[in-house]
Amino acid sequence: MDQPLAPDPQLLERLVAEVMALDPQGADLERECWRVVHRHQHGMLPSEYDIRETDEALYLTLLARVRDGDSKKGPAGP
């Protein structure tokens, strides 16, 4: 079985920026990552009951990258 290709680093950086624009506080990163991957694949944000497939490998890679960047910020100040 073939391994999936790693996403393009420039694409990942663009998608990370989109997630952070949608959710700057990082309150719901899983949802926003899914929405951004959906928009990347289908050209629009998902509707409430959208069941179209999304690239799970891209979603998981994006989520890990966003979480990694979020953890580097450190705790929120007062």
pLDDT of the chain along its 78 residues, tens only? Answer: 455 667 788 999 999 999 999 999 999 999 999 999 999 999 998 988 888 899 999 999 999 999 998 655 544 444
Helices (H), the chain: 9-22, 29-42, 56-72
Number of independent structural domains in the chain = 1
Residue 77 lies in a domain: no
Q: Is residue 4 part of a domain?
A: no
21 lies in a domain?
yes
Q: Are 26 and 65 in contact (CB under 8 A)?
A: no
For residue 51, being part of any structural domain is answered with yes
**Could you tell me if residue 49 is inside a domain?**
yes
Specify if 44 maps to a domain: yes
In terms of Cβ atoms closer than 10 Å to its own Cβ (0-12, 13-18, 19+), residue 12 is: middle
Answer whether residue 3 is part of any domain. no
- Provide the residue range defining the domain that includes 62: 9-72
